Amino acid sequence: GAGVSQSPRYKVAKRGRDVALRCDSISGHVTLYWYRQTLGQGSEVLTYSQSDAQRDKSGRPSGRFSAERPERSVSTLKIQRTEQGDSAVYLCASSGQRWDDYGYTFGSGTRLTVV
C-alpha cells in the first residue's frame, strides 16, 4: 500500500508483560520514528532510526523501549515489563531522505491499554 500501516490497531496487555507493536512503513523511506501520545503528557519520541537497519536510538522514558528493524520498511517496537503508565497511542512515522521530503507519514497508531 501507499501509506504507513500499524498492527494491531488495539492491544490490551497485563501489567508486567512484554508487548510488540508492528509498523510497515513506506518502501524507500529511510527514517523511522516510534512516537507515543498520551492525554496527560502530550507527545514524545521513543525511538528513531535512520538508514541502518539495526541501529535505533532509544529515547525516554527508559531502556524498556527498543525498536528492531529486520527489513528497511518493517519495524517492531518492543516494550518490556509494561506498566500502567505505558497506556497510550503508539504512532509509527517514516520519511524519505530528500531535503524536501522531511515531512513524515504517520500510521494510524496502536492504542495500548495496560491493565
Provide the binding-site residues for other proteins, judged by CB under 8 A: 4, 31, 33, 35, 37, 41-43, 45, 48, 50, 91, 93, 95, 97, 99-100, 102-109
40 versus 70: smaller Cβ distance to other proteins: 40
Q: Do you know the residue count of the chain?
A: 115
Q: Which residues pair with 34 in a beta bridge?
A: 47, 92
What's the closest the beta carbon of residue 106 comes to other proteins, in angstroms?
3
| Cell numbers that stand for 52 in this block | 541502518
What's the closest the beta carbon of residue 109 comes to other proteins, in angstroms?
6
43 versus 62: smaller Cβ distance to other proteins: 43
Query: Which contiguous run of DSSP H or E holds residue 51?
Result: none
Asked if the bond preceding 70 is cis, omega within 30° of 0, the reply is no
What's the closest the beta carbon of residue 18 comes to other proteins, in angstroms?
24
37 versus 58: smaller Cβ distance to other proteins: 37
- Judged by DSSP in three states, 61 sits in coil
3 versus 16: smaller Cβ distance to other proteins: 3
C-alpha to C-alpha distance for 90 and 38, rounded to whole angstroms: 9
